[in-house]
Amino acid sequence: MTDGWQPGHLRRVVAASLIGTTVEWYDFFLYGSAAALVFNKLFFPQYEPLTGTLLAFTTYALGFVARPVGGIVFGHYGDRIGRKRLLMLSLVLMGLATTMIGLLPTHAQIGIWAPVALVLLRLVQGFAVGGEWGGAILLAAEHGDARRRGFWASWPQAGVPAGNLLAAGVLALLASVQTDADFLAWGWRVPFLLSAVLILIGWWIRRSVSETRAFEEIAAEAPPKAPALDVLAERPNGLLTGAGLRVGENISYYIITTFSITYMTEAAHLTKAQALDCILIGAAVHFAAIPLLGALSDRIGRRPVYAAGGFGLALFSFLFFRMLGSGDMGAAVAAVVIALCLHGAMYGPQAAMIAELFPTRYRYSGASIAYQLTSIVAGSLAPIIALWLYQKSHSALPVALYVAAACAISGVTALLARETKGVPLSAIR
């Protein structure tokens, strides 16, 4: 049986992938925003502000270290017993960890055990989100048709800025109606506790969808005993291609959405509310751009759209920091919006492009490993490296060079990759 689809059911599948992914990334990004705004004061209060922020970003990075482990574990069972059940589990794990962060005592209350508990819960978050991405994009990609796979598979990708939008929006709302003292004392906990409600909504929606068509077609076959090892043995080039595609996209995204909050407040002297508003507006535009650029990759190919995003952002990174540091709110908003649109040219086609690198029998493992392994050296370290470069040089130029080099790697990788638009998943062996 070749790729097939039923529009009504496919729309429900895409909605389930999008909403579940939004909820999980709300939890994940909430931590990043809180690391930039409050965790340095509440969990590392004995350090001066920038050093405390650096330590807070280090705990943020640990979530990325756990992501490949989650990708391997969830990929293993997702390739053996199906995509849907593993997605449900990742949702519950993420929700529990995030809600517990909202209940954590601070350093002033329990001393060193506060940052220790924060680190452990961050590791659980990373493990859960490591299993989420592969399952969510396959739920859409394997239900959809080959002709429009770039568009359908891009919707779970849009859940990432939607989650960021939700996290930044809740934080911005609280920051606007509370004093800094109240926000620091208890207001920051509210968005974390809201996660429990969002997880219930995501669970209710995801439980209504069926297993993917592609997995059902091979369900009668003997499942792979060690799908991760099969990927390493049979598709090492696929892993390298996926890593190359990811490195610039991943580094640039976390600098645009996480480090830039610190840069706007510390260097450009914008208020905390203004910095969050910039991210909020950028995330809204990013959310709209991703499926449009995914659809464009169905028309003209994954490679040209992806390469344009990589090379475009490499060039724009230098202007980005000049606009961001100008102190002008309009320029800062424009900088974030343009940067995230260029990022969307990579992120929109990415889900379909990585999924199309691997056959169905170990696609969950292959896609997850290719996507998550890069996070250790890319997204996890990006805010830390950017902050260190800025501290040492007191200039954004080294940070711009860092982003430009990473994005150029992704642009070159896209040009060297095999074009896969329109290829039926059943033809990928």
What is the model's pLDDT at position 1? 39
Q: What is the DSSP string of 347-390?
A: HHHHHHHHHTTS-GGGHHHHHHHHHHHHHHHTTTTHHHHHHHHH
Q: What is the pLDDT of residue 4?
A: 46
pLDDT, mean over the chain: 86
Is the model more confident about 63 or about 411? 411
Q: Which tens digit of pLDDT belongs to each residue from 320-345? A: 999 998 888 999 999 999 999 999 99
Helix axes 363-377, 49-81, angle to 10 degrees: 170
Highest mean pLDDT among 111-120, 137-146, 209-218, 233-242: 233-242
Range 373-402 average pLDDT? 87
pLDDT at 31: 76
First to last CA, the chain: 14
Single pTM value for the model: 0.85
Helix ranges (H only) for 82-184 are 83-101, 107-110, 113-141, 149-177, 180-182
* pLDDT score at 2: 41
The full set of domains in the chain, from first to last, is 7-427 (1.20.1250.20)
